[in-house]
């Protein structure tokens, strides 16, 4: 992780121009895992150039897949998959690495891996994943930090009801069930667009999945999946981050290659704050903010289609300079305010108690030296720094690179004074 690098931002510049939204990180990772199940080359277009995606490709290579990238297209040939163990150093790089468990079990009938790493957002237990796989016939033992997983009688269909609509657990079940014997039902399934994207890809490969995008998903297992070609959906979180950057600088921006239907959890909040937003042709979205915004009274993070937890941090930054007081209630992760002390360094007025953050908007922020401690919090620091008077230096850039393609180049293209050093 490139934590030796830093971003230097001279704030106070109004952003104006056009940004093309890259493919969704949270979709690309399970799609890459899904290629393991295929018997033939899979081609993924619009695959973002992110460090997390690079880590996923290294996992695939370690398992015996051939991976190559040309521009935004990644080709994976899993024909000669021979491995079933994922090294600890690769598991530690990202939390999403756990999604490889269901795919590897489905292909190899066994898997050995450690607990995943990634951003420290508090407890994100994988108990739901393991319990569901056990219902499908997996035998899972923990030994010295390693998970030893086998399926002595093969994976079979099951009726699984999740206690929480976990995205990762839903994905792992879908991957394990795609080639399992019989029918699997997932009740209280996650409804995120990334779930629908995964189902569409698997169906292109020959799977039989219905109901994705709703609370009940049905997977009728097939014997074998074949090659396929697919385009990753746009990144709704990156899109929302850039909208916040435009809003906080009272700018004007057009996003291209975005999907407005996936952004309904937060677009009404921006409009209520005073932003003008409307579709601008096919796959385009226009935003304009010419005055100080009004603070939304309450924002509660919720599973899709509610307000996304991944966009909470950039909105915290935006509300720090809005007129009035906002109350954030974080219902997904208990440790998602790690960016707040850094925003306070800029002059923000924020108080945190448990899962609640009270943000009192201030007229102006001032540049400071900051450190990103996780992905979305890092994006929030960049958002705030764009509006702050003077110069801000942000270290921990490696976290930001996990979810945003060359964020400094993207923002510089619309008028930001931002450089990367180190």
pLDDT in tens, 137-166: 999 998 888 899 999 999 999 999 999 999
Token digits of residue 95: 């939390």
What residues are paired with 148 via a beta bridge?
112, 141
Whose structure tokens read 């104006």? 16
**Residue 287 belongs to a domain:** yes
Say how many residues make up the chain: 422
CA distances from 17 to 243, 252, 256, 339, 382 (A): 12, 7, 11, 28, 18
Residue 413 included in any domain:
yes
Which sequence positions are flagged as catalytic?
Answer: 119
Same domain, 336 and 399: yes
68 within a domain of the structure (yes/no): yes
Specify whether 199 is located in the same domain as 289: no
Of the residues 211, 231, 251, the one at which a domain ends: 231
CA–CA distances in Å: residue 333 to residues 121, 302, 319, 338, 409 = 6, 10, 20, 11, 30
CA of 199: how far to CAs of 7, 93, 178, 290, 305, in Å? 38, 25, 10, 41, 18
Residue matched to tokens 């800029």: 346
Domain presence at residue 267: yes
> Measured between alpha carbons, how far is 55 from 77 in angstroms, rounded to an integer?
17
Tens of pLDDT, residue by residue over 340-389, are 999 999 999 999 999 999 999 999 999 999 999 999 999 999 999 999 99
**205-215 average pLDDT score:** 98
Same domain, 314 and 374: yes
Query: Using one digit for the tens of pLDDT, what is the confidence trace for 13-41?
Result: 999 999 999 999 999 999 999 999 999 99
- The stretch 310-320 carries a mean pLDDT of 98
99 CB-contact burial (10 Å; exposed 0-12 / middle 13-18 / buried 19+): buried
Residues 219 and 240 in one domain: no
Banded pLDDT at 123 (limits 50, 70, 90): very low
- 169 and 255: one domain? no
pTM value is: 0.96
**Domain termination residue (choose one: 231, 260, 284):** 231
Classify residue 219: in a domain, yes or no: yes
Looking at residue 117, its pLDDT comes to: 60
Task: Report the share of the chain in percent with pLDDT over 90.
Answer: 89
**CA angle in degrees (0–180, nearest 5) for 334-169-401:** 60
Interstrand relation of 216-220 and 208-210 (parallel, antiparallel or unpaired): antiparallel
In the predicted model, is pLDDT for residue 1 greater than 90?
no
CATH number at residue 86: 3.65.10.10
| Residue 212 sits in the same domain as residue 243 | no
pLDDT above 80: residue 224: yes
pLDDT tens digit string along 48-61? 999 999 999 999 99
**Chain mean pLDDT for the chain:** 95
Domain-embedded: residue 168 = yes
Q: Nearest-CA neighbor of 334 among 317, 309, 370?
A: 309
Domain count, the chain: 2
Question: Would you place residue 120 in the very low, low, confident or very high pLDDT band (cuts 50, 70, 90)?
Answer: very low
Full domain range(s) for residue 338: 6-22+234-421
What pLDDT, on a 0 to 100 scale, did the predictor assign at position 3?
58
Strand-pairing partners, residue 392, are 9
| Residues 204, 63 within the same domain | yes
* Whether 191 and 303 share a structural domain: no
Inform me whether the pLDDT recorded for 397 exceeds 90: yes
Q: Which of 231, 249, 272 is the last residue of a domain?
A: 231
Q: Are 307 and 348 members of one domain?
A: yes
pLDDT at 143: 84
212 and 246 assigned to the same domain: no
* Whether 204 and 318 share a structural domain: no
Q: Does residue 1 lie in a domain region?
A: no
Same domain, 182 and 327: no
């Amino acid at each position: 992780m490139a934590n030796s690098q830093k971003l230097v931002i001279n704030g106070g510049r109004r952003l104006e121009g056009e940004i093309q939204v890259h493919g969704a990180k949270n979709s690309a990772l399970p799609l890459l895992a899904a290629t393991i199940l295929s018997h033939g080359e899979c081609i993924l277009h619009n695959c973002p150039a992110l460090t997390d995606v690079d880590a996923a490709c290294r996992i695939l290579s370690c398992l015996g897949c051939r991976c190559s990238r040309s521009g935004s297209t990644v080709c994976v040939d899993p024909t000669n998959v021979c491995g079933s163990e994922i090294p600890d150093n690769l598991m530690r790089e990202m939390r999403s690495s756990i999604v490889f468990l269901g795919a590897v079990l489905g292909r190899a009938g066994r898997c050995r891996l450690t607990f995943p790493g990634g951003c420290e957002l508090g407890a994100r237990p994988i108990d739901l994943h393991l319990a569901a796989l056990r219902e499908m016939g997996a035998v899972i033992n923990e030994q010295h930090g390693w998970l030893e997983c086998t399926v002595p009688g093969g994976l079979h269909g099951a009726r699984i009801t999740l206690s929480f609509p976990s995205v990762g657990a839903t994905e792992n079940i879908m991957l394990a069930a795609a080639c399992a014997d019989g029918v699997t039902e997932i009740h209280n399934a996650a409804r995120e667009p990334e779930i629908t994207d995964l189902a569409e890809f698997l169906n292109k490969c020959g799977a039989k999945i219905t109901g994705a995008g709703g609370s009940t998903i049905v997977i009728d297992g097939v014997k074998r999946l074949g090659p396929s070609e697919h385009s990753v959906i746009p990144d709704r979180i990156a899109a929302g981050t850039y909208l916040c950057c435009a809003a906080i600088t009272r700018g004007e921006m057009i996003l291209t290659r975005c999907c407005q239907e996936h952004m309904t959890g937060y677009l009404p909040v921006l409009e209520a704050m005073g932003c003008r937003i409307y579709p601008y042709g096919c796959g385009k979205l226009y935003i304009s903010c010419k005055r100080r915004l009004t603070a939304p009274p309450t924002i509660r993070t919720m599973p899709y289609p509610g307000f996304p937890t991944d966009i909470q941090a950039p909105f915290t930054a935006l509300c720090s300079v809005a007129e009035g007081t906002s109350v954030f209630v974080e219902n997904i992760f208990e440790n998602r305010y790690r960016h707040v002390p850094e925003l306070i360094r800029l002059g923000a007025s924020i108080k945190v108690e448990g899962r609640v953050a009270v943000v009192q908007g201030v007229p102006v922020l001032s540049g400071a030296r900051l450190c990103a401690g996780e992905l979305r919090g890092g994006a929030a620091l960049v958002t705030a720094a764009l509006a702050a008077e003077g110069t801000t230096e942000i270290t921990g850039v490696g976290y930001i690179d996990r979810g945003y393609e060359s964020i400094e180049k993207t923002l510089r293209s619309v008028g930001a004074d931002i450089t990367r050093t180190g």
